[in-house]
Amino acid sequence: MDRFQAMRVFVRVVQAGSLTQAAQTLQLGRATVTQLLKQLEAHLQVRLLNRTTRRVSLTADGAAYYERALQLLADLEEAEASVGSARSQPRGRLRIDVPSPFAQQVLMPALPDFVARYPGITLEIGASDRAVDVIAQGVDCVIRGGELRDGGLIARRLCGLPLALHASPAYLARCGTPHQPQDLQDPVHQLVGFRGAGSGQVHLPQLSRGGQVLTPAMHCRLSVDDGNACLAAGLAGLGIICLPTYLTAVHVRAGELVPLLPQWELPPMPLHLVFAPNRYVSHRLRVFIDWMTAQLQHGLA
């Protein structure tokens, strides 16, 4: 038995909460995971996990071993990364989840530089705006916009994304152009609401000018949970959209979207890179964090 492999499997099972999900994220067969756990328990001569048909839970001995295993794996990873780090290249699989518009507009165009620098890293990228359980789903890191709600995760702020209100010419011809924040409260106007991954709630735009802050009570008949869908709804004339300007700029230049209330400002949307605190930070994750931070050091237009 490879004790370090068995230890990694044990830690992953605890984090995932099930043998099946742990096996999937480790790319191992469920039978292999089960066998390694049995071998580890036999070697230690203690029961580490209580197993049911759906879930696993730690025994008292398992909880104590889990904390030590996390530290041992972190020390091992750090030792391996430090030996010959100047000449060694990070290797292995890196699982990332980012918002779909960010993947399309920012990450993918920049990614050739990363893969050229680090040919030993295999990337698995999920593109969605949905909430991701970093630990249970075995994801190394996620990038998300907006305020964070899970205080148990480590977050690195990458930049602030400028926001603006836009609508299509067809929408404005039909509903009129708002000239003051109060105009947005007219029932004729509709907001295409964006449901945040953390809360699932639609947040109304907050407008400020000269120390005055207003949050118009806009009407919302349509809400989405994906940035690309929100943009498409705005282009289709379904309502007023509030999105980062890096998504809308090309459509403004093409005359497909019109900026609204440009004399009023919206607070920038914070963009964070988030990862689990109890997971040792691998060499491959460290280089991705540093690379992504450098890419966004001047923010996004």
Higher pLDDT, 63 or 135: 63
User: With bands split at pLDDT 50, 70 and 90, how would you rate the model's confidence at 18?
Assistant: confident
User: Could you tell me the domains of the chain?
Assistant: 3-82 (1.10.10.10), 92-159+270-295 (3.40.190.10), 163-267 (3.40.190.10)
User: Which pLDDT does position 263 carry in this prediction?
Assistant: 96
Q: Print burial letters for 30-43: b (CB count within 10 Å at least 16), e (below 16).
A: eeebbebbebbbee
Question: How confident is the model over 173-195, as a mean pLDDT?
Answer: 96
Q: Averaged over 103-126, what is the pLDDT?
A: 94
Going by C-beta distance under 8 Å and a sequence separation of 6 or more, which residues neighbour residue 95? 25, 124, 126, 138, 139, 140
Instruction: Give, to the nearest 10 degrees, the angle between helix 30-44 and helix 3-16.
Output: 110
Q: Which residues pair with 165 in a beta bridge?
A: 242, 260
pLDDT reading at 138 higher than 80: no
Per-residue pLDDT averaged across 140-157, rounded?
83
Q: What is the mean pLDDT of residues 47-73?
A: 84
Tell me what the mean pLDDT of segment 27-47 comes to: 90
* DSSP-assigned beta bridge partners for residue 49: 58
pLDDT at 87 over 60: no
Average pLDDT over residues 119-123: 92
CB 265 within 8 A of CB 208: yes
Strand pairing of 190-194 and 219-224? parallel
Residue 258 predicted with pLDDT over 70: yes
Q: What is the pLDDT of residue 96?
A: 94
The per-residue pLDDT for 204 is 92
High-pLDDT (> 70) share of the chain, %: 92
pLDDT of residue 20: 87
pLDDT at 261: 97
State the first-to-last Cα distance of the chain, in angstroms, to the nearest integer: 53
Between 56 and 266, the higher pLDDT residue: 266
**Which residues make beta-bridge pairs with 193?**
223
Residue 273 pLDDT:
93
pLDDT at 197 over 80: no
The answer, yes or no, to whether residue 84 has pLDDT greater than 60, is: no
pLDDT at 301 over 80: no
> Does position 299 have pLDDT exceeding 70, yes or no?
no
Share of the chain above pLDDT 90, in %: 55
Instruction: Evaluate if residue 191 carries a pLDDT over 60.
Output: yes
pLDDT (tens digit per residue) in 62-75:
888 888 888 788 77
Tokens of 118: 């680090």
Given a cut of 60, whether residue 231 has pLDDT beyond it is: yes
Task: Name the more confident of 136 and 155.
Answer: 155
Q: If DSSP states are collapsed to H, E and C, what string results for the chain? A: CCHHHHHHHHHHHHHHCCHHHHHHHHCCCHHHHHHHHHHHHHHHCCCCEEECCCCEEECHHHHHHHHHHHHHHHHHHHHHHHCCCCCCCCCEEEEEEECHHHHHHHHHHHHHHHHHHCCCEEEEEEECCCCCCCCCCCCCEEEEECCCCCCCCEEEEEEEECEEEEECHHHHHHHCCCCCHHHHHCCCCEEEEEECCCCCCECCCCEEECCEEECCCCEEEEEECCHHHHHHHHHCCCCEEEEEHHHHHHHHHCCCCEEECCCCECCCEEEEEEECCCCCCCHHHHHHHHHHHHHCCCCCC
Pairing state between β 92-98 and 121-127 = parallel
Check residues 53 and 9 and name the one with the higher pLDDT. Answer: 9
pLDDT score recorded for residue 280: 59
Q: Distance between CA 40 and CA 7 in Å, rounded?
A: 8
Pick the more confident residue, 83 or 196. Answer: 196
pTM of the model: 0.72
